[in-house]
A = this chain, B = another copy of it.
């Protein structure tokens, strides 16, 4: 999808939030903000919103000299989620429709959005799971089941650290020998990279690749040729998170998007209500 002018106030807010997370120095906050404002003034609105996220976080890493500012928080959230894995896996196994339950839990991982909440506790995550599991889900589970059965190769695009552990529950319900999981090619915010896939133990059960890009989404022309080949050859792509929706919604591939609609611009683009607790597994045919 293209970037809306309504994304701009949000980008500015995100810049402030991120720069304060990454540095305690007001001069850094102001410097990053000024530079991002200059970039936004000349922004190509035909490109998807995560391109700005990529730009903001590259600038932050450059100005702070910190290659991966969210490293500690990503590790903490992975550990926290891994601790919950046995009981969540039990929930999946005991349910009448394990695929459906695992899809719900995978999207729940996206809702919980461990993000930059450094003080998040296991209890908070557990009550958040309970709450979000009772929310309405708009998931075309039969469509997904049909595509899974049909596909000889499935590409699973992960989203964030922590969340990727929840993804494992869904991945375990897929025909593992046909699955490739892709993570970001480099650190950006709390997005999942190879380290996070390994923390979730995914490398032990499926093939894991990285996409060669440090955008918080999947900007195909910024990805490695190897990733592009996987993308083009996959019969089914499961794309987690809003960033992947924002960057891939115009692609003609067979993509199931699993994410929570977190802003009114994406809500309007999908046709679902803005700012509701709608969770959407959107296939191209639904849009």
Contacts and interface: CB of A to CB of B under 8 A. Distances in A.
Contact of A12 (B9, B30, B38, B45): B9
Contacts of A40: 37
Contacts of A9: 9-10, 12-13, 16
A33 B10 CA distance: 14
Which size bracket describes the interface of A in this complex? 20 to 34
A29 B4 CA distance: 11
A33 to B, nearest CB: 6
Given A38-B41, A41-B41, A16 B12 contact: no
Nearest to A8: B12
A5 interface: yes
A184 B257 CA distance: 53
A204 interface: no
A37 B41 contact: yes
Contacts of A123: none
Contacts of A13: 9
Contacts of A26: 5
Interface string A247-266: 00000000000000000000
Interface string A201-217: 00000000000000000
Contacts of A131: none
A42 interface: yes
A215 B39 CA distance: 27
A34 interface: yes
A27 to B, nearest CB: 11
Contacts of A34: 41-42
Contacts of A42: 34
Given A38-B38, A38-B41, A41-B41, A33 B8 contact: yes
A9 B15 CA distance: 10
A62 interface: no
Given A5-B33, A8-B12, A35-B41, 18 more contacts: A5-B16, A5-B26, A5-B29, A8-B33, A8-B37, A9-B9, A9-B10, A9-B12, A9-B16, A12-B12, A30-B45, A34-B41, A34-B42, A37-B37, A37-B40, A37-B41, A38-B38, A38-B41
21 contacts: A5-B16, A5-B26, A5-B29, A5-B30, A5-B33, A6-B16, A8-B16, A8-B37, A9-B9, A9-B10, A9-B12, A9-B13, A9-B16, A12-B12, A34-B42, A35-B41, A37-B37, A37-B38, A38-B38, A38-B41, A41-B41
The 8 closest A-B pairs by CB, nearest first: A37-B41, A9-B13, A9-B12, A38-B41, A34-B41, A9-B9, A37-B40, A37-B37
